[in-house]
Amino acid sequence: MADAAPGPSHALSELAQRFGLELRGDGGVRIHGVGTLAGAGAGQLGFLANTRYRKELASTAASAIVLSADDADACPVPCLVARSPYVAFAKIAALFDAEPALQPGIHPSAVVAADARVDPGAQVGPFTVIGARSHVAAGAVIGPGCVLGEDCVVGPGCVLVARVTLVARVRLGARVRIHPGAVLGADGFGLAMDAGRWIKVPQLGGVVVGDDSEIGANTTIDRGAIEDTVLDEDVRLDNQIQIGHNVRIGAHTAIAGCTAVAGSARIGRYCLVGGAVGITGHLEICDRVTVTAMSLVTQSITQPGEYSSGMPVQDSRTWRRNGARFRQLDALARKIGALDRD
């Protein structure tokens, strides 16, 4: 791999002091980029956070490594020792991922309602629409092509990257980041059957997103029917997630892509939800629950822990055979029950 391009540069000793890490080796080594153990080159910092990559340590071309104390003695280059190497690496990598400088002002092509309020310290990009009674706070960045409907609030330091839609009554706290294509505040899926035809139930609530949350590309969060759909602080949603109306998600919970959460579900704090999980409506998941990928949650979870329901991949012949046996389970159970009664 070629050396990293010129840019910000930090001495290893500076990084150790800044992030409270133990330095081993030459603290004068200059770091101007990051990379993997196998891919990093001169001037770059690699990391070892997973033991399966330990075999790559001896041959790394990185100028320095961040790793745990257990691996430090085997490191052939200067290193930073951390209790959590991945967390330390993430903090250091952020030094090399600088945000574009804020450019306050409203682009001439933007359309802003007469009674909307845009702080002079906010940046509003081209072809943006800001609706009636909406407010954009200082330091917020509204990227190109975004649409803010009526009665929306974008808090200080928020970033709407591009083509984000806040339909109506969406309130973002401070430093919320929303990626392209996300839609917040669309109608919840509320229907009532009357004389053989569906009647639409008005969705009169809104969406509230807490400070420091992040919402991935093309994720959708419906507004509440009466009360709000709420994400507490530091909630992290991946791409292409569906959050139904009146859902509440507790602080510091993270949900991976292609998961769907049906209306009025309650998810606690510090939960981890894997990809392509289905969570049915009107149930509760307590704090500190992990749900593994492709699971289906159909009832409340009241005890912290890890839960699974998906079937891991098998070769097709075994899968078909097991499928045939699964269909025979009921008959087999009846036969066993009859034997027990005899």
Whether residue 73 contacts residue 95, with contact meaning beta carbons closer than 8 Å, is answered with no
Q: What is the pLDDT of residues 246-257, one digit of tens each?
A: 999 999 999 999
Rounded Cα distance between 206 and 149, Å, is: 12
The pLDDT score that the predictor gives to residue 98 is 80
- Structure tokens belonging to residue 112: 């802003």
- Kindly give, in sequence order, each residue whose CB lies less than 8 Å from that of residue 253, ignoring residues fewer than 6 positions away: 232, 235, 236, 267, 268, 269, 270, 271, 272, 273
Confidence of residue 2 (pLDDT cuts 50, 70, 90): very low
Q: Which two tokens stand for residue 222?
A: 């419906």
For residues 239 and 255, is the Cβ–Cβ distance under 8 A?
no
Q: Is 179 helix (H, G, I), strand (E, B) or coil?
A: coil
**Strand-pair category, 79-81 with 117-118:** unpaired
pLDDT of residue 159: 98
| CATH number of this structure's domain 164-307 | 2.160.10.10
Amino acid 326: pLDDT: 87
What pLDDT, in 10s, does the model give residues 78-127? 999 999 999 999 999 999 988 889 999 999 999 999 999 999 999 999 99
Report d(CA 229, CA 184) in Å as an integer: 10
Is pLDDT of 242 > 90? yes
Q: Which residues are catalytic?
A: 245
The residue written with tokens 């906010």 in the block is: 122
DSSP assignment of 179-239 = -TT-EEEEPP--EEEETTEEEEPP----EEE-TT-EE-TT-EEEPPSSS-EEE-TT-EE-S
Alpha helices per DSSP H over the chain: 12-19, 69-72, 85-93, 316-327, 329-341
Q: Where are the domains of the chain?
A: 10-96, 164-307
Higher pLDDT, 322 or 279: 279
Burial of 80 (0-12, 13-18, 19+ CB in 10 A): buried
* HEC assignment per residue over 257-326: CCCEECCCCEECCCCEECCCCEECCCCEECCCEEECCCCEECCCECCCEEECCCCCCCCHHHHHHHHHHH
CB 85 within 8 A of CB 66: yes
Q: Is residue 170 a contact partner of residue 185, using CB atoms and an 8 Å limit? A: yes
At 3 the pLDDT is 47
Report the amino acid identity of residue 132. A
Mean pLDDT over 216-223 rounds to 98
Least confident of 62-71, 232-241, 310-319: 310-319
HSE at residue 9, side-chain half, CA atoms within 13 A, is 10
| CA pair distance 108, 15, nearest whole angstrom | 42
Confidence of residue 7 (pLDDT cuts 50, 70, 90): confident
Report the pLDDT averaged over residues 211-219: 98
pLDDT surpasses 60 at 5? no
By DSSP bridging, strand 22-24 and strand 79-81 are antiparallel
What pTM, to 2 d.p., does this model score?
0.90
CATH class of residue range 10-96: alpha beta
Average per-residue pLDDT for the chain: 95
For residue 4, pLDDT beyond 50: no
pLDDT at position 218 is: 98
Q: 85-93 and 12-19 helices cross at what angle (nearest 10)?
A: 110
The pLDDT of residue 187: 96
pLDDT in tens, 20-73: 999 999 999 999 999 999 999 999 999 999 989 999 999 999 999 999 999 999
pLDDT digits (tens, 9 = 90+) for 157-170: 999 999 999 999 99
pLDDT given for residue 168 in this prediction: 97
